[in-house]
Amino acid sequence: MVHAWTWLDNPEPVFAQEHRLIPYVRLGLPEAWGTGASADAAYGVALLGEEACGLEVRKTNFIAGTGWRQRRALTIACSDAEATVYAALSSVDPADETEAAGEALNAVAQEAWQGYVARRAEILTAEQLARLAVVVEHPGVHHQ
């Protein structure tokens, strides 16, 4: 599959697989905040979206075939990451649309996403992680 990002300038090339500005735009945050953000920071910011953790856990369950205890642990881990990013968002001024203004949020969001991914790796079995790595478009970004 090829994506063509034509409606919103992408910091990456027009045919890049991902568009890291989308989580910022969906949340009404300044686009500039996502311009210099890493993919992990964008995934962390995306956790603030409506039902983001629910979608993440359902996606993981669909691909990896998790049990109810694993789903519960993933939900808690994702919710913890979401709360961390939300707290960081509360301390920034959305009226400041400069890239620098979003740096603190991005640093926390990146760390929160990476923490969630590390926790997910502890919760899932090696077989489940292998299934997830095969299906997810960018295993290097989503898994460590």
pLDDT for res 111: 98
Q: How many CB atoms lie within 10 A of CB 26?
A: 14
pLDDT for res 25: 84
Band (22; pLDDT cuts 50, 70, 90): confident
pLDDT for res 20: 75
pLDDT for res 13: 54
**pLDDT exceeds 50 at position 126:** yes
Higher pLDDT, 118 or 93: 118
Higher pLDDT, 41 or 18: 41
Q: Which residues touch 118 (CB under 8 Å, ≥6 apart)?
A: 144
**pLDDT exceeds 90 at position 55:** yes
pLDDT for res 140: 45
pLDDT for res 2: 58
Long-range contacts of 116-121 (CB under 8 A, 24+ apart): 116/47, 116/77, 116/78, 116/80, 116/81, 117/40, 117/142, 117/143, 117/144, 118/144, 119/73, 119/77, 120/60, 120/74, 120/77
**pLDDT exceeds 70 at position 8:** no
Band (142; pLDDT cuts 50, 70, 90): very low
